[in-house]
């Protein structure tokens, strides 16, 4: 049964859909749709995903959710009009996901682009256009049933973000709530969404249906197999001490400490997110995590991440599904090329054991 059934009352729609989907979607008849804490899913890219991909993700893997990354939907220059073609593509892909009972978290990326993020925080016209874009999207999805959320910005960062993000997030929330009072809103802390940034994050006290998301790629040199020139080689010459997990890892930066990394370290690093949840009684989600597939110990690292998220009750979305070749679970560990064939690797098998915990998989 698809998520976008126009069924009323709202409670009836929510109950019907909670049976069909692998997430908890029950909602009060006249209240907001609650955030489903049992999400186990993947990040997907708007312009690269196909219906066949989603058939495989939902039908074979049994994932129950996706974080849909659109990239900027605004023109690159003033007056920053909305790209109608990409907006229509967004609606099409959301429809595909809902037809397959995949909960959809829409993320619009970074309006100024990753390479020029600092310029965004001083550009009032572009910020206003971002507010207008989110209102347009909320107006479109407000009448639809549960199974959808709005992730305001991907990894807020850049000069000025720490000071400006809280105010802009409130503006975006106000604009969305003027059109849509029922779907959850997701906020990532500034500082690339890292869990330690929760120490400087204030909750959205004016909106109780706000969810807080962190991204996890620590230790970065291991998960991204970063060489001296920013490559994906990570040869012994790049890292004389090795890059093995679990083990002792020294980052390139001179100020970065040499640390022993294991599951306990991972758990310690997400404590700020856990404490934020405990202090404010809010939902927290791991919206991104991942590891280069050929990293020495990638299987154990991802297993430890998954076990930690499950232990702490964080829903999660891996980065990514059939997108970036270095973290594509289906490409295995022996062939590092972009053209490596896809197959059911040991990493796929690992994730399928967790997707099997979704109610729809049993």
Res 50 pLDDT > 90: yes
Q: What is the mean pLDDT of residues 311-339?
A: 96
Window from 93-102, 139-148, 241-250, 312-321 with minimum mean pLDDT: 241-250
- Cα separation, 309 vs 301, whole angstroms: 12
Q: What is the pLDDT of residue 113?
A: 65
Res 182 pLDDT > 60: yes
Cβ neighbours for 130, distance < 8 A, ≥ 6 positions apart:
74, 108, 111, 168, 172
Banded model confidence at residue 197, pLDDT cuts 50, 70, 90 = very high
Mean pLDDT of all residues in the chain? 88
Res 359 pLDDT > 70: yes
Q: Cβ distance 25 to 49 under 8 Å?
A: no
* DSSP secondary structure of 166-208: HHHHHHHHHHHHHH-SSS-EEEPPTTTT-GGGGGGPPP-TT-T
**Digit-coded pLDDT (tens) for 158-175:** 888 989 999 999 999 999
Question: Which residues in the chain belong to E strands, given as ranges?
Answer: 40-45, 65-69, 103-107, 148-151, 185-187, 210-216, 247-250, 258-261, 283-289, 315-318
* DSSP secondary structure of 80-115: --B-HHHHHHHHHHHHHHHHTT-EEEEE---TT-GG
Cβ neighbours for 234, distance < 8 A, ≥ 6 positions apart:
221, 225, 226, 227, 243, 295
Q: What is the pLDDT of residue 22?
A: 41
Residue at token pair 């973290």 = 327
Banded model confidence at residue 242, pLDDT cuts 50, 70, 90 = confident
Res 15 pLDDT > 70: no
Q: What is the pLDDT of residue 114?
A: 60
Q: What is the pLDDT of residue 335?
A: 92
Q: What percent of the chain has pLDDT over 70?
A: 87
Res 2 pLDDT > 80: no
**Digit-coded pLDDT (tens) for 251-295:** 665 566 778 999 999 999 999 999 999 999 999 999 999 999 999
Q: Rounded to the nearest 5°, which phi and psi values hold at 107?
A: -125, 125
Fold of 33-361: TIM Barrel (3.20.20)
Q: What is the pLDDT of residue 240?
A: 67
Window from 38-47, 79-88, 98-107, 254-263 with minimum mean pLDDT: 254-263
Q: What is the mean pLDDT of residues 226-243?
A: 75
């Amino acid at each position: 049964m698809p998520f976008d059934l126009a069924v009323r009352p709202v409670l009836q729609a929510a109950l019907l859909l909670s049976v069909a989907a692998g997430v908890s979607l029950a909602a009060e008849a006249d209240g907001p749709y609650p955030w489903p804490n049992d999400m186990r899913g993947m990040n997907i890219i708007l312009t690269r995903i196909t219906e066949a991909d989603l058939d495989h993700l939902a039908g074979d893997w049994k994932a129950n959710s996706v974080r849909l990354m659109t990239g900027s939907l605004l023109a690159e220059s003033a007056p920053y009009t909305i790209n109608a073609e990409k907006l229509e593509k967004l609606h099409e892909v959301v429809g595909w996901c809902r037809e397959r009972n995949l909960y959809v978290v829409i993320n619009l990326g970074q309006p100024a682009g990753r390479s020029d993020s600092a310029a965004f925080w001083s550009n009032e016209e572009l910020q206003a256009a971002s507010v207008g874009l989110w209102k347009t999207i909320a107006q479109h999805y407000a009448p639809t049933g549960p199974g959808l959320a709005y992730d305001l910005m991907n990894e807020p960062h850049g000069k000025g973000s720490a000071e400006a993000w809280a105010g802009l997030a409130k503006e975006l929330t106000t604009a969305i709530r003027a059109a849509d009072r029922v779907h959850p809103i997701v906020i990532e802390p500034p500082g690339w969404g890292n869990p330690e940034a929760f120490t400087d994050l204030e909750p959205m006290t004016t909106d109780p249906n706000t969810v807080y998301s962190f991204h996890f790629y620590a230790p970065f040199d291991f998960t991204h197999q970063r060489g001296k020139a920013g490559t994906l080689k990570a040869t012994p010459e790049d890292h004389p001490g090795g890059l093995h997990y679990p083990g002792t890892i020294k980052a390139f930066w001179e100020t970065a400490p040499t640390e022993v990394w294991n599951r306990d370290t991972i758990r310690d690093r997400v404590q700020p997110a856990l404490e934020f949840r405990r202090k404010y009684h809010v939902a927290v989600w791991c919206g991104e995590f991942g590891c280069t597939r050929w990293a020495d110990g990638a299987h154990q690292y991802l297993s430890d991440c998954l076990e930690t998220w499950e232990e702490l009750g964080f829903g999660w979305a891996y980065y990514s599904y059939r997108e970036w070749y270095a973290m594509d679970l289906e490409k295995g560990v022996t062939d590092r090329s972009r053209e490596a064939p896809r197959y059911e690797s040991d990493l796929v098998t690992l994730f399928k054991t967790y997707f099997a915990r979704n109610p729809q998989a049993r």
